[in-house]
């Protein structure tokens, strides 16, 4: 089957398997998702690693290295920015091969194999003697992270029952935030080499977990291994599950989606074009929400609010908020719907960014802001809450819901690569924006995009909660 076929590159291609008539058990589905998401925790540690590490390796004043003499090497500001940005380069490169590999050797062994580049990258970083080895390690870990974004959510979606679609669907994003919190908590109080050694534990746990988890039933049916698929379903759903009807549903879905999409199909068909455009714009607005700018400024904002907390504690507070609110989103996505969560997310984030810009403008103009010190602190917490509830997890989920089965793989590949391209551009250019525009205009820049995003979501983004793919395609085609 072509790597562009359904399942090859989209993290949320298949609707979760509908429950049969028998009695099912959900325990092993959560166990499997937890094991698979060791790939997500590993990706989260990679994403957050630069936050505490660059503080140790990049002197605040390039001419003053006092306090950092114990380091075997130091980085310039430009080298530090490349250490951060190279992860996005690797993630861009890792998405398509991961989808192809998942079709060739299966979801189980592809997920297990992700531990290899994770471990190689941590070895390069742990034994690094200069910027070059850090660059190599960050590219390799980016490849593993990008691949994880494709394979792990795909695997989870193929083993989940309908009734826990929201909970397990948000597991990947949730465990990314767990990995981020781990780095914030441990990295703030340990040397960066020690932190890197501890981060390497999670890929090892991934290997151990994947020995226990069976192969995806969808993949097994696709390969003609129907008996093995039934055995796998019994493991995931419990011994009393009615697997025959589930297997028939899988077969029917695969038969219906057996077409091979071409790039031209994304643009010549109006419905496909609308689905792709919405998916790409949701990814664009996710990155231009300014999430990286706010995370970067967390410690200064806490300090300007008059907080006496250590900057490390501030980072941990942010990490805890992200984990808790992403967990909350896994419940709300299927109850409140996608549109309302996206609308609150973009509007509230835009308002918070404008407030932060005004605050920094007042500070720059030497205005006394001591009486409103609580305002930036409240803004950054509310911003992170809104992002975690909306534009954090939902663009990834809707990417799989909007597209027709025959173009999902190709459209999702483009959306994933587009997202990581934006991550690279925003991460690499943020420092330059800060120097050229100032803190106030940097926040206003992102705030303006969020206000535009609110209008776009209200007018153009359809609600997909509780709708079949056929209903969603009808809405996109203007046939409500």
Assigned domain for 234 exists:
no
- In the 8-state DSSP scheme, what is residue 137? H
- Measured in degrees and rounded to the nearest 5, phi and psi for residue 242 equal -85, 90
What pLDDT is attached to residue 260? 58
Point out the least confidently predicted range of 91-105, 119-133, 336-350: 91-105
Point out the least confidently predicted range of 57-71, 236-250, 354-368: 57-71
- In the 8-state DSSP scheme, what is residue 308? -
Residue 64 forms beta bridges with which residues?
61
Assigned domain for 222 exists:
no
Residue carrying the six token digits 């299927």: 334
Q: Is the pLDDT of residue 365 over 80?
A: yes
203 plus 299 within the same structural domain: no
Q: Tell me the pLDDT tens digit for each residue of 264-301.
A: 777 878 888 888 899 999 999 999 998 877 776 666 67
What distance in Å separates the CA atoms of residue 412 and residue 399, rounded to the nearest whole number?
A: 7
Q: Tell me the pLDDT tens digit for each residue of 7-50.
A: 333 333 334 444 444 567 778 888 888 999 999 999 999 988 98
Assigned domain for 253 exists:
no
Please count the structural domains in the chain. 2
Positive or negative CA dihedral for 365, 371, 377, 380?
Answer: negative
51 plus 174 within the same structural domain: yes
Query: Quick one: tokens of 128?
Result: 């690094």
Q: In the listed set 213, 245, 272, which residue is the last one of a domain according to the structure? A: 213
Cβ(130)–Cβ(79) below 8 Å: no
For the residues 463-479, what does the mean pLDDT come to?
A: 75
pLDDT band, residue 360 (cuts 50/70/90): confident
Q: Tell me the pLDDT tens digit for each residue of 179-221.
A: 999 998 998 889 999 999 999 999 999 999 999 999 988 888 8
Share of the chain above pLDDT 70, in %: 84
32 plus 112 within the same structural domain: yes
Q: Is the pLDDT of residue 168 over 80?
A: no
Assigned domain for 430 exists:
yes
Pick the more confident residue, 137 or 332.
137
Give the Cβ contact number of residue 179 at 10 Å: 27
Q: Domain limits at 418?
A: 264-479
206 plus 318 within the same structural domain: no
472 plus 333 within the same structural domain: yes
Cβ(152)–Cβ(168) below 8 Å: no
Assigned domain for 403 exists:
yes
Q: In the listed set 146, 178, 213, which residue is the last one of a domain according to the structure? A: 213
Point out the least confidently predicted range of 30-39, 131-140, 415-424: 415-424
Assigned domain for 164 exists:
yes
Residue 161 forms beta bridges with which residues?
17
What pLDDT is attached to residue 108? 92
Assigned domain for 5 exists:
no
pLDDT band, residue 340 (cuts 50/70/90): very high
350 plus 461 within the same structural domain: yes
Residue 83, H or E segment: helix 77-105
What pLDDT is attached to residue 369? 72
What pLDDT is attached to residue 349? 96
Pick the more confident residue, 455 or 4.
455
What pLDDT is attached to residue 7? 35
Query: Quick one: tokens of 218?
Result: 């969808």
Positive or negative CA dihedral for 358, 363, 367, 372?
Answer: positive
What pLDDT is attached to residue 265? 72
Distance of CA 198 to the CA centre of its chain: 22
186 plus 279 within the same structural domain: no
75 plus 172 within the same structural domain: yes
Q: Is 362 exposed, middle or buried (0-12, 13-18, 19+ CB in 10 A)?
A: middle
What distance in Å separates the CA atoms of residue 290 and residue 38, rounded to the nearest whole number?
A: 27
Q: In the listed set 196, 213, 230, which residue is the last one of a domain according to the structure? A: 213
Give the CATH number for residue 421: 1.20.1250.20
What distance in Å separates the CA atoms of residue 226 and residue 220, rounded to the nearest whole number?
A: 6
443 plus 353 within the same structural domain: yes
* CA end-to-end distance (rounded Å), the chain: 33
Cβ(453)–Cβ(284) below 8 Å: no
197 plus 276 within the same structural domain: no
169 plus 314 within the same structural domain: no
Assigned domain for 470 exists:
yes
301 plus 160 within the same structural domain: no
Q: Tell me the pLDDT tens digit for each residue of 87-98.
A: 988 998 988 788
Query: Quick one: tokens of 81?
Result: 């920015």
């Amino acid at each position: 089957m072509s790597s562009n076929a359904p399942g090859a590159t989209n993290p949320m291609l298949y609707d979760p398997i509908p429950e049969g008539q028998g009695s099912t058990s959900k325990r092993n589905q959560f166990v499997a998702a937890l094991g698979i998401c060791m790939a997500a925790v590993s990706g989260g540690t990679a994403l957050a690693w630069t936050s505490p590490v660059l503080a140790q390796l990049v002197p605040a004043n390039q001419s003053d290295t006092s306090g950092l003499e114990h380091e075997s090497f130091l980085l310039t500001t430009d080298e530090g920015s490349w250490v951060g940005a190279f992860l996005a380069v690797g993630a861009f490169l890792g998405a398509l091969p991961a989808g192809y590999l998942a079709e060739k050797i299966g979801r189980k062994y592809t997920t297990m194999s992700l531990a290899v580049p994770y471990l190689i990258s941590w070895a390069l970083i742990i034994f690094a003697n200069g910027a070059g080895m850090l660059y190599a390690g960050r590219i390799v870990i980016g490849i593993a992270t990008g691949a994880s974004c494709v394979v792990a959510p795909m695997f989870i979606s193929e083993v989940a029952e309908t009734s826990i679609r929201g909970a397990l669907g948000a597991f990947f994003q949730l465990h990314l935030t767990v990995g981020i919190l781990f780095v914030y908590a441990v990295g703030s109080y340990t040397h960066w080499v020690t932190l890197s050694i501890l981060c390497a534990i999670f890929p090892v746990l991934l290997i151990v977990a994947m020995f226990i988890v069976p192969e995806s039933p969808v993949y097994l049916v696709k390969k003609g291994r129907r008996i093995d698929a039934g055995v796998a379903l019994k493991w995931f759903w419990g011994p009393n599950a009615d697997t025959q009807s589930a297997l028939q549903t899988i077969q029917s879905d695969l038969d219906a989606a057996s077409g091979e999409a071409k790039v031209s199909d994304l643009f010549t068909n109006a419905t496909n074009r609308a689905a792709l455009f919405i998916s790409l714009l949701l990814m664009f607005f996710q990155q231009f929400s300014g999430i990286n700018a706010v995370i970067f400024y967390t410690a200064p904002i806490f300090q300007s609010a008059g907080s006496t907390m250590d900057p490390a504690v501030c980072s941990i507070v942010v990490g805890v908020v992200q984990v808790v609110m992403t967990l909350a989103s896994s419940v709300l996505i299927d109850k409140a719907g996608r549109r309302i969560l996206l609308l609150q997310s973009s509007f509230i984030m835009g308002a918070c960014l404008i407030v932060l810009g005004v605050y920094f403008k007042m500070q720059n103009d030497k205005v006394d802001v001591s009486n409103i010190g609580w305002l930036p602190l409240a803004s950054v917490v509310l911003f992170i809450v809104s992002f975690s509830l909306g534009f954090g997890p939902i663009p990834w989920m809707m990417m799989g819901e909007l597209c027709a089965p025959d173009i999902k793989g190709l459209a999702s590949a483009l959306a994933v690569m587009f997202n990581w391209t934006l991550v690279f551009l925003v991460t690499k250019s943020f420092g330059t924006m800060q120097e050229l525009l100032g803190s106030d205009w940097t926040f206003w820049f992102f705030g303006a995009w969020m206000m535009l995003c609110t209008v776009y979501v209200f007018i153009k983004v359809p609600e997909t909660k509780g709708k079949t793919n056929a209903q969603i395609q009808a809405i996109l085609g203007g046939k409500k």
